[in-house]
Amino acid sequence: MFERRKALRWLPLYLRYTNYLGAAQLYLKQNCLLRRELMQEDIKERILGHWGTVPGLNFLYAHLNFLISRHSDREFMFIVGPGHGAPAVIANLFAEGSLREFYPELTLDENGTSRLVKMFSWPGGFPSHTNPGTPGAILEGGELGYSLSTAYGAVFDNPSLVAVCVVGDGEAESGPLSASWHSNKYLDPARSGAVLPILHVNGYKITGPTIYGVMNDEELRAYFSGLGYEPFIVDCTGGTGEKEHIVMMKTLEKCYERIRDIQKKARKRVKKHVDPLLRPRWPMIVYRSIKGETGIAELHGHKVAGLYRSHGIPASEPKKNMEEFAKVKAWLASYRFTELVDERGRPRDEVMRFVPKGLARMGMNRHTYGGKVRRSLRLPQIKKYETKVSKTYADAQIGSTGIAAKYLRDVIRLNSRAKNFRFMCPDETESNKFQALFEATNRAFVWPVHSYDEHLAPDGRVMEILSEHTLQGWLQGYLLTGRHGIFATYEAFAGIVSSMVDQYAKFLKQSMHVAWRKPVSSLNYLLTSVGWRQEHNGYSHQNPSFISGVLEKHGKFCSVYLPADANSLLVVLEDCLKRTNSINVIVAGKQPMPQWLTLAEARAELKRGVGRWDFVDRQGATSPDVILAASGDVPVMESLAAIWYLKKMIPELQLRFVNVSEITALGIGDERHPLALDNREFEHFFGDTTPVVFNFHGYPGAIQRLIYGHEATKRFKICGYMEEGTTTTPFDMVVRNGVSRFHLAMKVLDQACPVRPDLTKKIRSLNNYFEQLLKQHARYIVAYGKDMPEVTGWRWEDV
């Protein structure tokens, strides 16, 4: 009680200090402590940023500081969902001294304060949202909807961590955020930390009310109770006085006690080897505040504070408009900032009374610097998973993901003590042939299940939820706090998180320019149930666009792998799980396919991302008339089948086959990517004048953009997915898109005509033969509902 009375005297002082810093960052470039009368020339030329959420965030940060001062045994992380809340975050990081740890010039005095205020939304300074240059941040504050899932990802397997996640009421309307409330069903209180969500309801978005702002307390309690939370409502819409401070103090203390009680009970049950604690009702807070509180109340005859007009910049032209300047001047003066600091501009002791020190500061939480706490995975030797390749390449028909599942099963086993690897998949683990994982772990779930439900347990390391956005957020939070993981999904639906990948790529790119951000584990996608084998689900499940989207991002650290077989997938997985600061997309089918490369051959090919398969045509490999290249398991199989037909029927034609397993290697001479071929290497694989027929897994435009500007563009004929599909047969899918063995054979023959005029007559005859085969295929599938034996029974044999 005595501490609470002291805190009630401290809170108004601290909030005046941080609210002033928040407002001053928006407007001032000089005279930042108001040592003299404010003049219009003190105002920034460009006033950028947002004010509306700042006072509420400062209020929450201050109260959390008081909570931390009472419970320093736990680690607290602050995750900010409101997109442009950076002025508040920066103000508090400055006050606690975290900023100075990374920016020595931001000293807690007049000089440091002036630097801080000026550099906000200033070239070379802090942007209007949190970013990698913000200490303690693991979330880019630009795009909304990902704060809560990121917070849950951060606390998985971090038993001492409490992530306080502030969700803006505008952000809460987004689909990704709405789904992520259900993350509480996956959080194991015995082995993980806790998330304390705080829904910040200040009532308005940019120009209108929020949904949560118009819901009454009964509706909010019912909604969040239905989601499985224990909701607490703190209403400060009547103003923030002693009563409101007391309510928030008691509420945070009660929430913390609830968290500790849930964890204590769960951990006790684990120690006693009794049934786990199920359906824990984690606390959450609905915090109602006045939008833009303590700011300009009225301007130009319109209400500002408490309305959407305070969302961004309340007065946008104080440098030109005297009425606006007068309002800003009075607003900044109202905090009486000089009373809060001494003659050197240092905050007085009474302002800093309950501000944590050392590692207890939220800006210094060690988990927010995941690269520093990251530990490499223990990886099994992949030799024992190798598929033997026969000399005829005709025997082994293996599903690549089934082999990968055994490898990842053992990754989980080897790291069971460290608990630093998780497998994310939206309800498709078994569909994608990863059943072997359940030999080592279960699906995570902490709510009651039926006795006949399979592979569900609170400590499971397979994360399944039918929300790709939530999985992406979980994985980002998990990686950025120093751990490892893989996101496996149907290829067609990976595009759901394309925008999130954009945001993460930007975060990663900026992190690489921040010296104190150490490398984090790679973000790995494993796309399977690929479009070429979605003939049973139909057109809705056929979409390889995720590849194109990733390629258009940041080439220096984004890689796209298309392993042709199981051995190639193994070496790619091993490499990706070792990599840091990268985004890796691996596309691998789950259906039985021919096996082409030994493990040693696959390793050698991975070094360049490209391989010449000279066994296909040893004579043609050295002096080809036409080069046939491919990327992806189905395109490779169709390409080799085309070569097989051609070598049997026109053996005079010299052919080379090139497999491109990592397609950014085609960014010829592109310094953005370490695997990009130089001109000499490119010619080694693709010649300098030889025509090339390229059979690609995805949209042809992706390859065209990679080789654009190079002379080879003129001689590349690119086949790929042409947005043609339906419910049909597997082979009909490749026929419809013009990438079948018969289409490829005809395309090779067309390219051969100019270079082998001596074969023109034979070529014409063969073109007619392949056209007849395509007609035969069309008749057969209509008559029998399956592919003809000439296709399904095909196996490679040396010609």
Mean pLDDT of 240-262: 97
Share of the chain above pLDDT 70, in %: 98
Mean pLDDT of 644-667: 94
- Measured distance CA(126)–CA(22) in Å, rounded: 13
> CB burial class (10 A; 0-12, 13-18, 19+) of residue 100?
middle
- 113-142 pLDDT tens trace: 999 999 999 998 998 889 999 999 999 877
- Contact present, 580 and 519 (Cβ < 8 Å): yes
- 495-533 pLDDT tens trace: 999 999 999 999 999 999 999 999 999 999 999 999 889
- Torsion over CA: 113, 116, 119, 121 (sign): negative
Tell me the two tokens of residue 242.
């002693």
Report the pLDDT value the prediction gives residue 672, as an integer from 0 to 100.
61
- Measured distance CA(224)–CA(297) in Å, rounded: 32
DSSP H helices in 289-444: 322-333, 370-373, 400-414
- Contact present, 22 and 55 (Cβ < 8 Å): yes
DSSP string, 481-536: TT-EEEEEEEGGGGGGGHHHHHHHHHHHHHHTT-TT----B-EEEEEES-GGG-TT
Span of 163-177, 665-679, 783-797 with lowest mean pLDDT: 665-679
Tell me the two tokens of residue 326.
């007068």
Which domains does the chain carry? 2-365 (3.40.50.970), 379-593 (3.40.50.970), 617-792 (3.40.50.920)
The conformational region for residue 383 under phi > 0 = left, psi -120 to 50 = alpha, else beta, is alpha
Q: Residue 715 carries which DSSP code?
A: G
Contact partners, residue 287, CB within 8 Å, separation at least 6: 56, 59, 60, 198, 199, 200, 201, 234, 236, 248
Q: Residue 128 carries which DSSP code?
A: S
Whether residue 338 has pLDDT greater than 90? yes
pLDDT class of 799 with cuts at 50, 70, 90: low
Beta strands 302-303 and 443-444 are unpaired
Report the predicted TM-score, pTM, of the whole model to 2 decimal places.
0.95
The conformational region for residue 492 under phi > 0 = left, psi -120 to 50 = alpha, else beta, is alpha
